[in-house]
Chain A
Amino acid sequence: MSGAFGRMPIGATRREFIGVSIAASSMVALAACSSDDGSEVDIDEQSKGAMDDFAADTQFTATEPFTLSLLWTEWPELPIKDSWTFFDEVEQRTNVKFELTTIPFSDAVEKRSLLISAGDAPQVIPLIYTGDETSFVSSGAILPISDYVEHMPNFQKYVEEWDLADMVDNLKQADGKYYMLPGLQEVSVPVFTLIIRKDVFESVAGGIPETWDEMREALVKIKAEYPDSTPLADGFEAQSMLNYASHAWGARAGWGFGPGMVDDGGGKLEYTAVTEGYKQMVEYFRGLVADGLLDTDSLTAANDGSGGGSVAEKFANETVFAASGSNGTAIEFAQALNETVGEGNYEVLQIAPPGGPAGQVVEPRNFWNGFMLNSEITESEHFLATLQFLDWLYYNPEARELLRWGVLDETYTKDADGKIELKPEYSLNAFNINPDGETDIQEDLGWSNSVFADSTESRALKESYNPSEFVAYIDAVLSTRTPRDPYPPAPLDELELEQSSLLATPLKDTVDTNTLKFITGDRDIAEWDDYVAELEAQGLAEYVDLMNAARDRFEEENS
């Protein structure tokens, strides 16, 4: 089948190999070129092109043109075309020209590591999620941008206005500085959650489940109505479902596992995968599998769009009625259902993650992707102007609107209430807007590109391009769920980082493997204590001590 062909095992091995070897060699290479002597940068001397009166919510225009090198990730279906107006428009408004280093999306992370390790990275490195920067901190290759945020008025303003200061503090590394600036979100809702067949849940199960217990009851009813179905599925190797489900039990799992640490309620950190909550979560899903309510194939297979047994296909054939996904997945499912059930005969809905023993909670408020800067930027005479430009590009509301929608009154219009509408001759196919428009603002003009457009978003901007179902989803999450408290930060220094990765990786592997085994029933849940003993034999206590020490130190230094 295509699945076997699309995901070549040799390719995967090679890719892992690259990852490991780049990581390993970067340690060596970086150790050799740490030349950060901590000397202060005189930013006023490097203010060529900078505006004297740059302030929040004002247009940035460099007083003299300059070029900025940029790491550009190329998505296979969105190549840069000659017709793109994105680069020209930004240059025209700001006097800043981008010089691109293009990397293919398929291996973007590996190439980024290589470029940074070899000291060859462009000045601006976008698409950085929190945590991506950690491995580069000790090398000195990345600018400690926290030293310079005073020159970024838009960032300051929206951190304040959207109440994100505590979260920004949590970005700090062991040296008390942070090295990336994230995309700010006025409201943050889980990106991945459950996508359900609303009509079926309402007619068969009597409504939309608000807790996992209600979900179970609903699934039982649906199973009774459709005996051939296994109504619940994941499709992301269980990483997605465990991620959004774990919060209901006060645990962390899947994509959100991170270092695996949660607060034990007494001011200490504990390893989430051995907590009672985690065990209860595993038992819950084990129960679903035992009753034929959870599709086990979808816990090991990736939803890679290669057809043949994918979750979308099962959704279309009514053997699955609730599955993990984002707003994009919801559109995908709807398109698949159009082919089988027919348009108008179904309703697809993205629901707030169900609650559980820990309450009606969802993941902590979150950032989205932002950027880091190559530390060599401090030698640039346009250093200050670069900071101002990026502050405008990433945090100015007008810039954000430009990046999403293009040029006001040219590609879109905005009425007095701030309602944005795309002009009829333009389309945005990725979000099913004006499918009949001749020119796609994303494919043909470069707006809404994945490198910049998703980062910082106000609530209004987020709601402007998403379908009304997603807007309803945002409302549902914000009105009925509480975000968890942020996980306590415990930044590690260079030596600890090395130690922790030696300990954490095998621990995480054991957790991942056994979580799945327990859920699918390959391992009896009665062996839970043996599993905990296995983790302890792999140095669990040492790892927890290490993290606790780092946390104590951080609190001492920042209290």
Chain B
Amino acid sequence: MRAFGAVNATLLVLLCVLMLYPFITVLAQSFSSAGAINAGKVSFWPVGFNVDTYAAVMSDGTFWRNYGNTVLYTAVGTTIAMVLTTTYAYVLSKKHLKGRNVLIGIAVFTMFFNGGLVPNYVLISSLGMKNTMWAIVLPNAISVFNLLVMKSFFENLPKDLEEAAQIDGLGWYGIFGRIVLPLSKAVIATMVLFYSVQYWNDWFAAFLYLDKSELFPVTLFLRNLIAGASTTASEGAAAAGTTTALVSTNIQAVTMVLTVIPILCVYPFVQRYFVSGVMLGSVKG
């Protein structure tokens, strides 16, 4: 048993190092000089320690404007998504509801079929949402996976509580707001985490629907910085990459670090809920 424990621990530590190594390298690069990175000297510790790059990136107006956009999109998106998902899930959890299967079917249908890229694009632009925040926050406001997890959570809440509340004179909205939601903190915390990470990381919707760089989220700024520097697709692209100064690796690293910090800070505090949240759909009460 002790041998098993030792092997187990070693394996897990190794795995842990494997997962952490890229993060640590990026962190080390962000504090290193460009010369040291180009010479391939940086792995675990910063070489040629400096914070000039941080100062440079942080004084870039576009970066902060895009950072602010990300915060805004995440906050608004998560709020809308939570309102829609909880109310939808609550309705679906009521087995006596007429047409419940149709409502579930509508949601599940979108898991298997979608309109495709160009039709979606045409739809969003005909709805007049192009170049607005709504193109980012509305299309993915209900994640069907999250919806189903939440539905099964609500189904497992004791019915008696709601009946008691009904007898005491609460209507459906009262029951939902005063009884059900306070009892669902675990699932709500999990979903908030899911949605906010989704909105925070999303660059694709912004890439499709936004044409003004002052509206871009920071992820798109980051992608342009990182992917833009490495292109060998054609002679024209390669020439464009070399005639203009390449974005140096430490700037890329700093931007990456600054972008993941908020999510990294929030994660440990909601992890408790996160673990219980993952179990939600699987354990029947």
Answer yes or no: B282 CB below 8 A from chain A CBs.
no
Answer yes or no: A21 CB below 8 A from chain B CBs.
yes
Q: What are 27 sample pairs from A and B whose C-beta atoms fall under 8 A apart? A: A1-B25, A2-B252, A6-B229, A6-B252, A8-B226, A11-B227, A25-B119, A76-B228, A102-B212, A114-B121, A117-B118, A119-B122, A129-B236, A191-B235, A255-B235, A302-B230, A304-B232, A305-B249, A306-B252, A307-B38, A307-B40, A309-B40, A310-B38, A313-B38, A328-B242, A450-B244, A454-B243
Scoring B residues 217 to 236 as 1 if CB is less than 8 Å from chain A, else 0, what string do you get?
Answer: 00011011111111111111
Question: Are B62 and A304 touching (Cβ within 8 A)?
Answer: no
Answer yes or no: B148 CB below 8 A from chain A CBs.
no
Question: Are A76 and B225 touching (Cβ within 8 A)?
Answer: yes
Answer yes or no: A329 CB below 8 A from chain B CBs.
yes
Most chain A CB within 10 A, of B25, B62, B204, B249, is at B249
Scoring A residues 85 to 110 as 1 if CB is less than 8 Å from chain B, else 0, what string do you get?
Answer: 00000000000000011111111010
Q: Contacting A80 at CB < 8 Å: which of B25, B211, B213, B252?
A: B213
Interface residues of A, CB < 8 Å — how many?
Answer: 75
Closest-CB distance, B98 to chain A (whole angstroms): 38
**Stretch binding the partner chain, chosen from A155-163, A234-242, A373-381, A504-512:** A234-242
Closest-CB distance, A21 to chain B (whole angstroms): 5
Q: Contacting A313 at CB < 8 Å: which of B39, B229, B234?
A: B39
Question: Are B227 and A2 touching (Cβ within 8 A)?
Answer: no
Question: Are B25 and A104 touching (Cβ within 8 A)?
Answer: no
Answer yes or no: B184 CB below 8 A from chain A CBs.
no
The prevalent SS among residues of B at the interface is helix
Answer yes or no: A360 CB below 8 A from chain B CBs.
no
Answer yes or no: B37 CB below 8 A from chain A CBs.
yes
Question: Are A5 and B207 touching (Cβ within 8 A)?
Answer: no
Q: Which residues of A contact B179 (CB under 8 A)?
A: none
Question: Are B223 and A312 touching (Cβ within 8 A)?
Answer: no
Distance of A450 Cα from B244 Cα, bound (Å): 8
Question: Are A104 and B220 touching (Cβ within 8 A)?
Answer: yes
Q: Which residues of A contact B246 (CB under 8 A)?
A: 77, 305, 332
Answer yes or no: A336 CB below 8 A from chain B CBs.
yes
Q: Which residues of A contact B241 (CB under 8 A)?
A: 305
Closest-CB distance, A78 to chain B (whole angstroms): 6
* CB-nearest residue of chain A to B223: A106
Q: Identify which of residues 24-79 in chain B touch chain A, using a CB-to-CB cut-off of 8 Å.
A: 25-26, 29, 35, 37-40, 42-43, 62
Distance of A336 Cα from B246 Cα, bound (Å): 13
Scoring B residues 109 to 121 as 1 if CB is less than 8 Å from chain A, else 0, what string do you get?
Answer: 0000000111101
Q: Which residues of B contact A237 (CB under 8 A)?
A: 232
Answer yes or no: B208 CB below 8 A from chain A CBs.
yes
**What is the count of residue pairs linking A and B with beta-carbon distances less than 8 angstroms?**
178
Question: Are A118 and B26 touching (Cβ within 8 A)?
Answer: no
Distance of A130 Cα from B233 Cα, bound (Å): 15
Question: Are A107 and B232 touching (Cβ within 8 A)?
Answer: no
Question: Are B228 and A104 touching (Cβ within 8 A)?
Answer: yes
* CB-nearest residue of chain A to B35: A339
Question: Are B239 and A305 touching (Cβ within 8 A)?
Answer: no
Q: Contacting B232 at CB < 8 Å: which of A2, A239, A339, A450?
A: A239
Interchain residue pairs A-B with the least CB separation, the first 4: A304-B230, A328-B242, A106-B227, A305-B246
Q: Contacting A25 at CB < 8 Å: which of B29, B42, B117, B239?
A: B117
Q: Which residues of B contact A100 (CB under 8 A)?
A: 211-212
* CB-nearest residue of chain B to A103: B211
Asked whether A6 and B118 contact (CB < 8 A) given A120-B125, A430-B244, the answer is no
Question: Are B37 and A105 touching (Cβ within 8 A)?
Answer: no
Answer yes or no: A411 CB below 8 A from chain B CBs.
no
Q: Which residues of A contact B81 (CB under 8 A)?
A: none
6 further A-B contacts with Cβ under 8 Å, apart from A305-B229, A308-B38, A328-B243, are A5-B26, A104-B223, A120-B121, A302-B230, A313-B38, A429-B245
Q: Which residues of A contact B225 (CB under 8 A)?
A: 76
Q: Which residues of B contact A302 (CB under 8 A)?
A: 230-232
Answer yes or no: A325 CB below 8 A from chain B CBs.
yes
Closest-CB distance, B220 to chain A (whole angstroms): 6
Most chain A CB within 10 A, of B119, B221, B235, is at B235
Question: Are A104 and B238 touching (Cβ within 8 A)?
Answer: no
Question: Are A75 and B234 touching (Cβ within 8 A)?
Answer: no
Q: Identify which of residues 2-32 in chain A touch chain B, using a CB-to-CB cut-off of 8 Å.
A: 2, 4-8, 11, 14-15, 18, 21-22, 25-26, 28-29
Answer yes or no: B248 CB below 8 A from chain A CBs.
yes
Distance of A307 Cα from B220 Cα, bound (Å): 23
* CB-nearest residue of chain A to B243: A328
Distance of A88 Cα from B37 Cα, bound (Å): 40
Q: Which residues of B contact A243 (CB under 8 A)?
A: 235
Q: Which residues of B contact A305 (CB under 8 A)?
A: 229-230, 241, 246-249
Q: Which residues of B contact A327 (CB under 8 A)?
A: 243
Answer yes or no: B240 CB below 8 A from chain A CBs.
yes
Question: Are B229 and A111 touching (Cβ within 8 A)?
Answer: no
Distance of A15 Cα from B235 Cα, bound (Å): 19
Distance of A518 Cα from B204 Cα, bound (Å): 39
Q: Which residues of A contact B22 (CB under 8 A)?
A: 4-5
Question: Are A332 and B242 touching (Cβ within 8 A)?
Answer: yes
Scoring B residues 236 to 271 as 1 if CB is less than 8 Å from chain A, else 0, what string do you get?
Answer: 101111111111110011000000000000000000
Question: Are A2 and B211 touching (Cβ within 8 A)?
Answer: no
Question: Are B39 and A307 touching (Cβ within 8 A)?
Answer: yes
Most chain A CB within 10 A, of B204, B233, B240, is at B240
Closest-CB distance, A6 to chain B (whole angstroms): 6
Asked whether A326 and B38 contact (CB < 8 A) given A6-B249, A114-B121, A114-B208, the answer is no
Q: Identify which of residues 429-462 in chain A touch chain B, using a CB-to-CB cut-off of 8 Å.
A: 429-430, 450, 454
Answer yes or no: A79 CB below 8 A from chain B CBs.
yes
Question: Are A129 and B39 touching (Cβ within 8 A)?
Answer: no
Closest-CB distance, B91 to chain A (whole angstroms): 34
Distance of A1 Cα from B37 Cα, bound (Å): 9
Closest-CB distance, A366 to chain B (whole angstroms): 9
Q: Contacting A104 at CB < 8 Å: which of B39, B207, B229?
A: B207
Asked whether A6 and B38 contact (CB < 8 A) given A74-B213, A114-B118, A120-B125, the answer is no
Question: Are B116 and A25 touching (Cβ within 8 A)?
Answer: yes
Answer yes or no: A192 CB below 8 A from chain B CBs.
yes
Question: Are A102 and B249 touching (Cβ within 8 A)?
Answer: no
Q: Which residues of A contact B208 (CB under 8 A)?
A: 111, 114
Q: Identify which of residues 44-78 in chain A touch chain B, using a CB-to-CB cut-off of 8 Å.
A: 74-78
